[in-house]
Structure 1
Amino acid sequence: MLQIFQSSDVDEPHSNPKLTQKITENLYLIPGDLTLAKEISGDTANKVGAVWDHLSEKEILNEFDFILIDCPPTWSILTHSSLFASDFYIIPSKVDFYSSIGIQLLEEQVTKKILNDSVYKLTKRKLKRLGVIFTLVHRGIRAEEIRMTNLKEKFPYIDFFVSYLPHIPSIPTKFVMYSDAKGDSKYDQVINSIEKITTELLEKIEEGGNFDEE
């Protein structure tokens, strides 16, 4: 991912210009780099189109049915460039006191930096919000159920996924390969949730996303 935002070296072209790494059949990653934080916090002039340029110029768009880009919760050129290149976006949100603030700030940035941007308008594309997915949800906790209800009432123009990602103690603190988790019963709940989220996600994409405004 770092190389996407760096100036290319004509004399020494990258051995893998697409930067994709095969994980398994039909699944590839463009891995991040710790140095990326420094790169995206520096001079970001003319880098908004970096992700789109890479995906289109390297013909990656023609090779995959879906390209998922994981962005940090804070706004940066990585988030900006990723949204600039995207057809849809999803808002993952924990069920805590700061959820409403995070959702509102992101929506304001999307409207200001993407949808109302003159350069973006020239692309004739329309970024569509698919909705909010609650993450690390504790089942049966009344306080969290109330917060989720309050968030839905506060943002009636935003779609909220019915499916959510449950809280599993080891998930936030331990690296586990999906293939390993499949054979461990303690991860059955989260695997089932991921499958439900995927089904709901595909349905929302077929519907065309959420165009409703506040």
Structure 2
Amino acid sequence: MYQQIELPFEKRGKNGKIVSFINMKGGVGKTTLSVGVADFLAHYRGDTNLKVLIIDADPQFNATQALLDSYYEGDYFKDILPVEKTINKLFKPQVQFSQQYQSPSPEEMIIQLSSNLHIVCGDLSLVLANKSSDYTHIKRLKRFIKDNSLREIYDLIIIDCPPTLTIYTDSALFASDYYLIPNRIDRYSIIGISSLQKAIGNLTGEEDINLECLGLIYTILDDELTQKQQEMKDSFEAKEEVQQIYIFTSYTSNVKDIQVGKQGPIPTRYKKSREDLEDICAELIDRIEQGVSDE
């Protein structure tokens, strides 16, 4: 059986922030970063550990697989998927239109991985949801968070977004206070950034939301860049779209052990990656606490 959330679901008077991790280009280490940040903040800060909810909005549901493999004793395909305890529950069309829509409860949606780390699991069915969902469903994730006062329960809510423009990408951004851009240096990096900025510009132009960019984090970076890599990095940062974005001084290193999964897919299990995440999380929390608009 799946692990139940502690009941009653305790409100702790927090004012949690919501951050979408997103890039319109795949293969940039987005999910590895979102999982690593969530795990580090929940478990590796000693007396200052945070209570974190990670929402897997990517149909590939890699964040779900990584975290369940490390923390969950049950079986996703036997315990979670059959009862639809996944994000897909938010995007299913209503069967009876005479009934007013009601947000699912936390108990219907959230899996407890540890006392400080919870997850709304991803679901491959999101591929179908995008084809059938009404655009009004864009507000469902934000409403789920609001109706269940999740900001009062969690210090931070992280949404792992897909690298494509879908109704649940818009839903994630609509629900968020901030977005964070993981980015890997290659000759096509600017394509994902340009597409993302256009998408966010369109969304904020159509909807009355205040969505701020926390910045860009380089991922899978070699500590010593080759001349070619340095030239690509310099060229990327010279682009007008990038000059408007704060670039984190911290980054994730190219740790080959993660690629082969010697100690599992979560980066906190690897010393070098854990050190990177310590720096990233400190800079991330500082950015949130100091306020992006105060720059």
Verify same fold: TM over 0.5: yes
User: Which structure has more helix as a fraction of its residues?
Assistant: 2
Specify the alignment match of 1:28 in structure 2: 118
Contact 1:18 1:60 in 2 (8 A): no
1:158 aligns with 2:245: yes
Contact 1:131 1:210 in 2 (8 A): no
Q: Distance in 2 between matches of 1:211 and 1:77?
A: 31
How many correspondences in the alignment? 200
Paired residue secondary structure (1:68): strand
Q: Displacement of 1:40 after TM fit?
A: 2.1
Alpha-carbon distance between aligned partners in 2 of 1:208 and 1:48, rounded to the nearest angstrom:
26
Note if contact 1:18-1:58 (Cα within 8 Å) is conserved in structure 2. no
The one-letter code of the counterpart of 1:3 is: K
User: Which structure is richer in relative contact order (CA contacts within 8 A, separation 6 or more)?
Assistant: 2
Matched, 1:168 2:272: no
Structure 2 vs 1, CA of residues 210 and 164 (structure 1 numbering), >3 Å: closer, same or farther? farther
Deviations 1:141-165 (A, max 9, x none): 3222322222222121111111111
The CA distance in 2 between the partners of 1:132 and 1:180, in whole Å, is 20
For residue 205 of structure 2, the aligned residue among 111, 116, 140 is 116
> Per the alignment, do residues 179 and 188 of structure 1 end up closer, same or farther by CA in structure 2, a change over 3 Å counting?
closer
Query: Compared with structure 1, are the counterparts of its residues 16 and 25 closer, same or farther at alpha carbon in structure 2 (3 Å cutoff)?
Result: closer
Q: Which amino acid aligns with 1:169?
A: K
Tell me which residue corresponds to 1:184: none
Q: Which whole-Å CA distance do the structure 2 matches of 1:191 and 1:4 have between them?
A: 33
Q: CA RMSD in A?
A: 2.6
Q: Which aligned runs of 4 or more in structure 1 are off by greater than 4 angstroms? A: 8-11, 13-18, 177-180
Distance 2:274 2:284 in 1: 15
Residue 191 (structure 1) aligns with: 274
Alpha-carbon shift at residue 14 of structure 1 (Å):
6.7
CA 1:141–1:177 in 2, change beyond 3 Å: closer, same or farther? closer
1:71-105: CA deviation from partner (whole Å, max 9, x where unpaired): 11112111111000100000111111111111011
The alpha carbon displacement at 1:15 in A equals 8.2
Identity of aligned residues (%): 26
Unaligned runs of 5+ in 1: 182-186
Deviation at 1:211, TM superposition (A): 8.2
1:44-123 equivalences under 5 Å are: 44-113=134-203, 115-117=204-206, 120-121=207-208
Separation (CA, whole Å) in 2 of partners of 1:78 and 1:172: 28
TM-score, normalised relative to structure 1: 0.83
Name the aligned partner's letter for residue 162 of structure 1. Answer: T
| Native 8 Å contact 1:165 1:190 kept in 2 | yes
- The separation in 1 between residues aligned to 2:294 and 2:195, in whole angstroms, is 18
Deviation string for 1:104-154 (max 9, x for gaps)?
Answer: 1100110112x211xx22xxx410001111111122132223222222221
